[in-house]
Structure 1
Amino acid sequence: MAKKYRVTLTPEERQELEGLIGKGKGEARKLAHARILLQADEAEGGPKRTDAEVASVLNVSVRTVERVRERFVEQGFEAALAPKPSERVYPRLVDGAQEARLIALACSAPPLGKTHWTLRLLAERVVELEIAETCSHETVRRVLKKTNSNRIGARCG
């Protein structure tokens, strides 16, 4: 079956890929894609390997080789090296006003009988005070991590 997407690297592109691999520093996926492009190169002096050969030599799937080849032809050299950005959009669990109330709560005095707030205590109190309908300790952790608040400092509860 004839290949739909043919990789033909210029000498400059080939040199850049070899330099990238030679350094050995960089993202693993980017280095793997560079190796795929070098092995799949059909230009003068290139190895001209099939997708199955490239996949077995580099220990990747044939589909990965096909995708890298396709991205090189359709989107260009840089796009073939970089991983495809995620298109998922994650909904925010708490908005800015809720975050502010949560931070204020974290800086307030802990409940009676407790020496300090825990993430789970804060999550329970956020639901009790109806700041949010639901809240997990992980959500509390993420909100507090974004701030530079020192919940153990002298000014905080």
Structure 2
Amino acid sequence: MGRGRRDKVYLTVEDRENLEQISRNGYAPAKKILHARILLMCDEGKYSKRTWTDEEIAEALQVHRNTVGRIRQRFLQKGEKPALERQLRKTPPTPPKVDGSSEAHIIALCCADPPEGRAEWTIRLLTSELKQRQVITEISASTVWRTPKKNELRPWKTQRFCIPERDLARFVAEMEVVLDLYSTEPCEEEPLIAMDEASKQLLGEVYPPIAMQPGQDKKEDYHYEREGVQALFMFVDPHRGWRRVSSRDSRTRIDWAEEIRQLLDEDYPNARKVKLLSDNLNTHNIASLYEAFPAPEAHRLARRLEIYHTPRNGSWLNVAETELSVLSKQCLDRRIPSKDKLKEEIDAWQKSRNQNASKVIWRFSTSDARVKLKHLYPVFEQEE
């Protein structure tokens, strides 16, 4: 049909009223409302206020010009209802490429181990494997992706559990011992000391860094020289607000035993017994004292030491770990070139912290754990 000639539409009063009602009906399908507006604008009868061209109608309603022509022809040939309703497909829909059987294959592949030499399943790898196994000979990666997405399968993601189900009883038992320690009233004769270990790599500069200036950040070269590693021993008295940090060349049983001797004989010489809270490292036990000192000396130290261990997977229960984090952020988060420089910086940091008596206020109690961590308790008594 040319631009100059077109079959004209003449609407009656009843036709216009019906179409106007549909076009204003917010509950009608969007296609039906659009077709009603097209017919109203196509009307060239005496009740129409303006004659619109197909191009003007298409531009006004944001549709293609051919769409306007098809709606007009359908109205003239078949009437109002066929023109307003969506035209049915003449051919049956194409059957989906992924049926129940092939979807089960895709799910099984996602849940199985990937081929040798591959760390994980990717969508491309799944598509290639389906074709290779003749499950589906022609399929795109985007079509394959629909099945893992629908079934919430993420073969590239691995979640790691922190506490195995079979280990819950052991965890909560040891956790409550630690929580009870924190909630016990502080005693000068039996102070509670938390300890933890860390390491610091010593790094020297290859080229001197450029100091910061207004409008210019500090700059340092990407290259550096490795100057060794120092072991850090952190001892914290959370009630007193005292801590001591030592750096050593190693962290063997001998090193730990010597740190314990210093804790008992120099830091707390008047304490009848020291309650030491540490992690489960194999050097943190009485046997290390007997490996480092003669039996009488080891026995003397052991009688003044009561060791408690944080549960495995529960290092967050150790306040010394928190203090190490503070040390790292405030003091060690930079390049330190030598052991002497490291010792100077650590001594200055701990002096400042001890002068301020920065305490650790632990507020999480056993009763809190039984409420907030009740999912960890194998048998939990529900409130009536």
Q: TM-score range by the shorter chain?
A: 0.5 to 0.7
Larger Rg: 2
The structural deviation recorded for 1:122 is: 0.5
1:110 match: 114
CA gap of 1:141–1:82, structure 2 versus 1, over 3 A, is: farther
Corresponding residue of 2:71 = 68
25, 28, 38: which one pairs with 1:36? 38
What value does the CA root-mean-square deviation take over the aligned residues?
3.5
Q: Which runs of structure 2 are paired with 1:23-62 in the superposition (5 Å)?
A: 27=30, 32-42=34-44, 45-47=47-49, 49=51, 53-58=52-57, 59=59, 60-61=64-65
Aligned to 1:129: 133
Q: Which runs of 5+ in 1 are unaligned?
A: none
What is the one-letter code of the residue matched to 2:39? L
Query: Cα–Cα, structure 1 residues 103 and 4, in superposed 2: closer, same or farther, change >3 Å?
Result: same
Distance 2:139 2:53 in 1: 48
Equivalent pairs, count: 143
Distance 2:72 2:127 in 1: 48
- Residue 140 (structure 1) aligns with: 144
Q: CA deviation at 1:121?
A: 0.3
Equivalent AA in structure 2 for residue 56 of structure 1: E
Q: Post-superposition shift, 1:43? A: 5.3
2: distance between equivalents of 1:72 and 1:143? 43
Alignment CA distance shift 1:76-1:144 (3 Å): farther
Give the counterpart letter for 2:36 in structure 1.
Answer: A
Structure 2: tracts of 5 or more residues without a match:
160-384
State yes or no: 1:13 paired with 2:15.
no
Deviation, structure 1 residue 103: 1.3
The structure where strand makes up a greater share of residues is: 2
The C-alpha deviation readout for 1:7-30, integer Å capped at 9, x for no partner, is: 44241322332x25xx7xx85x65
Q: What code does the residue aligned with 2:111 have?
A: C
Query: Which string of whole-angstrom CA distances, capped at 9 and with x for unpartnered residues, describes residues 18-72 of structure 1?
Result: x25xx7xx85x656533321112355522473xxx431322342x4333212333
Q: Distance in 1 between matches of 2:19 and 2:73?
A: 17
Instruction: Note closer, same or farther for the CA distance 1:75–1:37 as it changes in structure 2 (3 Å cut).
Output: same
Q: Corresponding residue for 2:124? A: 120
Q: Indicate how the Cα distance of structure 1 residues 13 and 33 shifts in structure 2: closer, same or farther if over 3 A, else same.
A: closer
2:153 corresponds to which letter in structure 1?
Answer: N
Is the 1:124–1:135 contact (alpha carbons within 8 Å) kept by the matching residues of 2?
A: no
Query: Structure 1 residue 102: deviation in Å?
Result: 1.4
Give the Cα–Cα distance (whole angstroms) in 1 for the partners of residues 97 and 9 of structure 2.
43
Aligned residue identity for 1:46: S
Counterparts of 2:6 and 2:117, CA distance in 1: 74
Partner SS for 1:11: helix
| More moved, 85-94 vs 115-124 | 85-94
